[in-house]
Structure 1
Amino acid sequence: MIGEVLLNVPVLDLAVEDFIVLLITALAGGAFGAALGALPAFIFTGFVVFLGEGIAILQREVTGQVEAVPQGELAAGITGTIGFGVITGPHIAFAGGVAATAYAGKKYPEMEPDDWDYHFGKNILYAFGTKPDILAVGAIFGALGMLITRFGYAAAVVSGTPLTDFIAFSVFATAMIARPVFGYPIIGSPNGSSLLDMSPFEEEDPHPEAVADGGEVPPEHQGRLATEPWLPHQYKWSGVTAIGLVGGILAGFIYLETGSFFLGYGISAISLLFLNLGVEKIPVTHHITLIGAVGAAVVAPEVGTDVIPLLAAGAFGAFSGLLGELTQRIFYSHSGTHVDPPAMAIAIAMIIIALLSIAGVLPNAGYL
């Protein structure tokens, strides 16, 4: 089950000491995400997953028969326990960084960089260093992310039916919990004709709370735009579809050649280093490459050619990209904190894939 493979420990019957170790480490992992910043922490996820999957491929090709190193054991330790575990797991380090940023957006608006046009609570590029209260927020939400994920996979083991990627679900859930906890609207009011309308951003309309009405604008709202799309360079439906097709096909090829669901995901996460360093228009694609790999995996067993799985990977990647765009317009653009569109896309896509697999429409549910 994915809960055992990705987390590398049984999701049921944990000894009290094992649980305490996980909890303490998750607290540190969440604080680590706050110290580095959410996006830098996630880039580390990419490097660790890339390393773990690379070792797994090497083991399968070269040392898979060596009994001293059981096949997949070392790689599972890197990919699962560290990459998707309590060190750099997105549900812990990234989630801790996101919550810390939401807290700082209210508590320390004066820390906002001059070149940041959105609410400071969305600045997941910002590293908070060693400020104790911000690290404490990251720690608490890192632990919460670990608990949500583990309970989700425990329920899947009991039922025998994993219904989604609970790491992705936890990233979304903790970010949504942070909003009311720190005083933000859960969804926010659209400043256009609907939640999906991005025209106020295109017209550079100021946020209503950033317009002085006989008094001073509160620091947290200064300079804000009326609508704040997740990626100003990646929100138009046509462009999202195009990058979804491209990323999905590339991830499908990686899966067909290596058998790895997560290598493309790792490469996508690493590519965000350039976005964090200020390179303009770097696309965000880890939700596209992960679901693209799943598309290749669910089709490949049924056909005798690689062409159809590649096309399926492109279609699945485009679908996940569009899900990310749809969810960002609903959950991200109108409030003041980061709620991760890729996590929402992965969680929703894997629910659909799991249900179609249960119904017999698809032959398998990918990495679930």
Structure 2
Amino acid sequence: MIETLQLPVLGITLSVFVVLVIAAFAGGAFGAALGALPAFCFTGFMVIAGEAAAFAGAELAGSITGSVAFGPVFGPHVSFAGGAAAAAYAARESEMGAGFDYHNAKAITFALGTEPSHLVVGGLFGVVGMLITQFSAALALPWDPIAVSVTLGALLHRVVLGYSIVGPIAGDGILDMSPFERGEKREAGTVAGDADKAGEERFAVEPWLPHQYEWSGVALIGLVGGALGGYIWLQTGSYFLGFGISAASLTFLNLGVEKIPVTHHITLPGSTAGAAVVASDPAASGLVVVVVATVFGIYGALLGEVWQRVFYAHGDTHWDPPAAAITIATFTVALLYIVGVFPGSAWVPALGV
């Protein structure tokens, strides 16, 4: 009976749903064990493997990208989101010990190992991430279903674990990074939702990437990454290969190489918009593709920067700026298709239009 019973909203059988729940719990726990960022680096490696296999015509290529890289094993909505939530929980319980310069709940490079409570939290948030993604995809909501799941999952772990949604604002407004530049500190443990111990000091403002927050540099890396994302799509027909390269490059950031830029929220909007503007026809004008990809690369970069200044820099946990930027950028692509500006929406769902 369970093998054939359908879940109409999701369009899958109950048996498949149960398998997804079990796999997502395991994937979220695995993300917690490895650490959120190391798990995401593996997402990049698997995307590269899957897209390279697809380009070569391998039979199982779609399963590598769709079921492993973007599925319950290394899908960011499962493994990364589970790892980030587990870090927030471990820091809340003073069990992190990452020695991170910021609040330890933001230490997404830190592997949490095999502590059962950390694995359970990671697993539960992995299941939540899978559910949000499945519902978003089944309803053809007009954005990247994985990115929106990572974004909403981070909001949920802040609320559930008692963290402030934004945090105390320092300086001359929510977008002001100058307190960090001046090295200003604030006493921790004095604000509702602040999980640090009273009496400790922390930076008054904590930029997501100390080497990547000035507007000019952010815009320029957006131009570079967007152009490359569009070019990669032109040459390979892959929407996701640029994203995979960007994600895999974060291995070096995780290993401590300084000033490695984060670009997956740049290359993916670039390749997606570049493909959408020519209705995913690689034979169309390459110049149009690269120009539009460049514009959307800059757009994705600036969206990520605005998000980090509002929801990361003042808060305690990792609320992923790239996931939010990809959500908004892909929504923009879908909207431009829905209103008739773009002839296609590439891979982005568009409410069945």
**2:42 is aligned with what amino acid?**
F
- 1:226 CA displacement: 0.4
- 1:312 CA displacement: 1.5
- 1:221 CA displacement: 7.3
Structure 2 residue aligned with 1:281: 259
Structure 1 residue aligned with 2:108: 124
Structure 2 residue aligned with 1:4: none
- 1:333 CA displacement: 0.9
Unaligned runs of 5+ in 1: 1-9, 64-68, 157-161, 212-216
CA distance in 1, matches of 2:198, 2:52: 44
CA distance in 1, matches of 2:143, 2:346: 11
- Partner SS state of residue 12, structure 2: coil
- 1:300 CA displacement: 3.6
Q: Do the aligned residues in 2 keep the contact of 1:30 with 1:92 (CA within 8 Å)?
A: yes
CA distance in 1, matches of 2:117, 2:48: 32
Q: Do the aligned residues in 2 keep the contact of 1:200 with 1:227 (CA within 8 Å)?
A: yes
Structure 1 residue aligned with 2:340: 360
1:246 aligns with 2:224: yes
- Partner SS state of residue 112, structure 2: coil
1:163 aligns with 2:142: yes
Deviations, residues 212-249 of structure 1 (Å, cap 9, x unaligned): xxxxx954873420001110000011000000000111
Q: Do the aligned residues in 2 keep the contact of 1:38 with 1:125 (CA within 8 Å)?
A: yes
1:111 aligns with 2:97: yes
- 1:58 CA displacement: 0.6
CA distance in 1, matches of 2:331, 2:199: 37
The 5 A counterparts of 1:209-228 are: 209=188, 219=197, 222-228=200-206
Structure 1 residue aligned with 2:82: 96
- 1:305 CA displacement: 3.1
1:77 aligns with 2:63: yes
The 5 A counterparts of 1:1-368 are: 12-59=10-57, 69=59, 74-108=60-94, 111-113=97-99, 116-156=100-140, 162-209=141-188, 219=197, 222-300=200-278, 304-368=284-348
**1:133 is aligned with what amino acid?**
S
- Partner SS state of residue 224, structure 1: strand
**1:335 is aligned with what amino acid?**
G
Unaligned runs of 5+ in 2: 1-7, 349-353
**1:82 is aligned with what amino acid?**
V
> What percentage of aligned pairs have identical amino acids?
53
CA distance in 1, matches of 2:158, 2:285: 48
CA distance in 2, matches of 1:87, 1:146: 11
CA distance in 1, matches of 2:98, 2:55: 43
Give the TM-score, by structure 1 length: 0.87
CA distance in 2, matches of 1:252, 1:91: 25
Number of residues of Structure 1 aligned to a counterpart in Structure 2: 335
**2:131 is aligned with what amino acid?**
L
CA distance in 1, matches of 2:346, 2:308: 25
Name the structure with the higher helix share: 1
Give the TM-score, by structure 2 length: 0.91
- Cα RMSD for the two superposed structures: 1.9
CA distance in 2, matches of 1:364, 1:284: 27
**2:177 is aligned with what amino acid?**
M
Distance 1:45 1:220, change over 3 A: farther
CA distance in 2, matches of 1:296, 1:17: 38
**1:353 is aligned with what amino acid?**
V
Distance 1:315 1:323, change over 3 A: same
- 1:338 CA displacement: 0.1
Structure 1 runs, 4 residues or longer, greater than 4 Å off: 301-304
